[in-house]
Amino acid sequence: MEISLTPETITTIAGFPITNTLLMTLVISAIIIIASLVLRKRLSLIPKGFQNIFEYVVEAFLNLIDGVTQDRKQTKKFFPLVMTIFLFVILSNWIELWPGLGTIGVNQIRGGRVALVPFIRSNSADLNVTLAIALISVFATQFMGIAAIGAVRYSKKFFVNPFHKPYFIGTFVGILELISEIAKIISFSFRLFGNIFAGEVLLIVMLNLVPYFVPLPFLFLELFVGFIQALVFAMLTLVFLKMATVEAGH
Amino acid sequence: MELLNNLGINGKLLLAQIINFVILLAVLYKFAYGPVLKMLNDRTKKIEKGLKDAEEAKKKLIEMEKKEKNVLHQARLEAKDIIEKAEAVSVKDAERIIAEAKDQSEKMLDQAKRQIEKEKEKILAEAKSEIANLVMVATEKIIGEKLDENKDRELINSVIK
């Protein structure tokens, strides 16, 4: 049993490291893309089966976003990003529930000894993935803010003239806002990474200690954690988006 | 950089993940969200229209029922009127027919009576003349001789009367 903070590299193609999380990302993307193509093909006015489930989720999210934005037009603008984050993150999180976690893989020689490189490792237990989504989320926030209220007015949130009321306090708060944007990236990525990585470690340890029955409650716990983390990621993105589109009040 | 390396952050992988996510977003937007949102919208519209149509149909039905009731009522009234009129006409007709029949029968009775009277008179006259003749013949035979015929007839007639 070897627990690595970083995703393990399975092989390298032309200097590009193929890690197990990259593999999982591709698998999840393929699943989502195939599912959406199938959905597109079978879409009908009278919903059936999979379309029902998807529509239910979409409706639930639309209502949730409506609750935050109070504006249907804005909801439609935010919806794709929030929904995609949710879908991608929840599927990434639930990878760790698949059987074969930390057991199926290839043996590699690392640091002079043989180590198992598992194929299955949750996307979210890779900082590259969480950081990527966090960056997209935060940049989308800036973009939406500028698109909604204009670059000049949006920048007033961060750069406040120290010679007007409330003088240097305003300027200081502006700088804090700027820092908080960067902090958002870090908190987004590390929250998700931490939760899922810890869950994965917990599951691997449990499986190694007592292989039967005992890991079950932890599997359920991780199912729940995966859902909550995905929801948190999506909701925080949504809230930040909404906050960015509201002009800073003075 | 050492920290990032230790955390497993790799520029190439990060970029790959970002691109992957953007592609995912684009595909989902194009093939899932757009069509599904449009579908949801369409359905909402359709259901709203359906409900409105149903409401209208219901209203129409109520109206039609009202109209039907009205028409039926009217028809019933008219029928009643027609029947009443027909009854009145028939009663009048019957009265007229009865009256005519009475009239006719009275006329006929009258005529018959008159005829009978006439016949009676005629028969009486004939009988009288016959009797007179008979008496004449008888008296002639008895008396043996003939009176003046005219005188005789006068005599007889006065007797008979």
The full set of domain ranges for chain A reads 9-245
Under an 8 A CB cutoff, do B43 and A135 touch?
no
Q: Under an 8 A CB cutoff, do B17 and A22 touch? A: yes
The mean predicted confidence, pLDDT, of chain B is: 87
A82 reaches B (C-beta below 8 A): no
- Per-domain residue ranges of chain B: 2-160
Q: Check whether A217 has a pLDDT greater than 90.
A: no
Tell me the shortest Cα–Cα distance from A78 to chain B, in angstroms. Answer: 12
Cα A51-A55-A58 angle, rounded to 5 deg: 140
Q: Which pLDDT tens digit goes with each residue over A57-115?
A: 888 888 888 888 888 788 888 888 888 888 888 888 888 777 766 667 777 766 667 77
pLDDT confidence band for B111 (50 / 70 / 90): very high
What are the structure tokens assigned to B141, written together?
């035979």
* CB-CB neighbors (< 8 A) of B3 in chain A: none
pLDDT value at residue B85? 95
pLDDT of A14 strictly over 80: no
Name the token pair of B128. 């009288």
Whether the pLDDT of residue A163 is over 70: the answer is yes
pLDDT in tens, A115-135: 777 777 777 888 888 888 888
A36-65 residues touching B, CB cutoff 8 A: 36-37, 39-40, 43, 45, 51, 54-55, 58-59
Q: Is B158 helix (H, G, I), strand (E, B) or coil?
A: helix
Burial letters B112-135, b for 16+ CB under 10 A, else e: eeeeeeeeeeeeeeeeeeeebeeb
Nearest CA in chain A to B9: A128
B22-41 average pLDDT score: 82
At CB < 8 Å, which residues of chain B contact A? 6-10, 12-14, 16-18, 20-25, 27-29, 31-33, 35-37, 39-40, 42-43, 46
CA distance A123 to A7: 9
Which pLDDT score, from 0 to 100, does residue B62 have? 95
> With bands split at pLDDT 50, 70 and 90, how would you rate the model's confidence at B117?
very high
Nearest CA in chain A to B33: A80
Q: For tokens 């937007």, name the residue.
A: B29
Predicted confidence at residue A110, as pLDDT, reads 66
Q: State the angle between helix axes of A127-149 and A72-94 in degrees (0 to 180), rounded to the nearest 10.
A: 180
Question: If DSSP codes are grouped into helix, strand and coil, which group holds residue A105?
Answer: strand
- Note whether B32 contacts A54, CB cutoff 8 Å: yes
Give the distance from residue B80's alpha carbon to the nearest chain A alpha carbon, in angstroms.
Answer: 55
More confident residue, A79 or B145: A79
**pLDDT tops 90 at residue A5:** no
Spatial distance between the Cα atoms of A82 and A236, rounded to a whole number of angstroms: 9
ipTM for this prediction:
0.78
CA B143 to chain centre: 91
Q: Give φ, ψ of A3 to 5 degrees.
A: -110, 125
- Band of pLDDT at residue A39, cut at 50, 70 and 90: confident
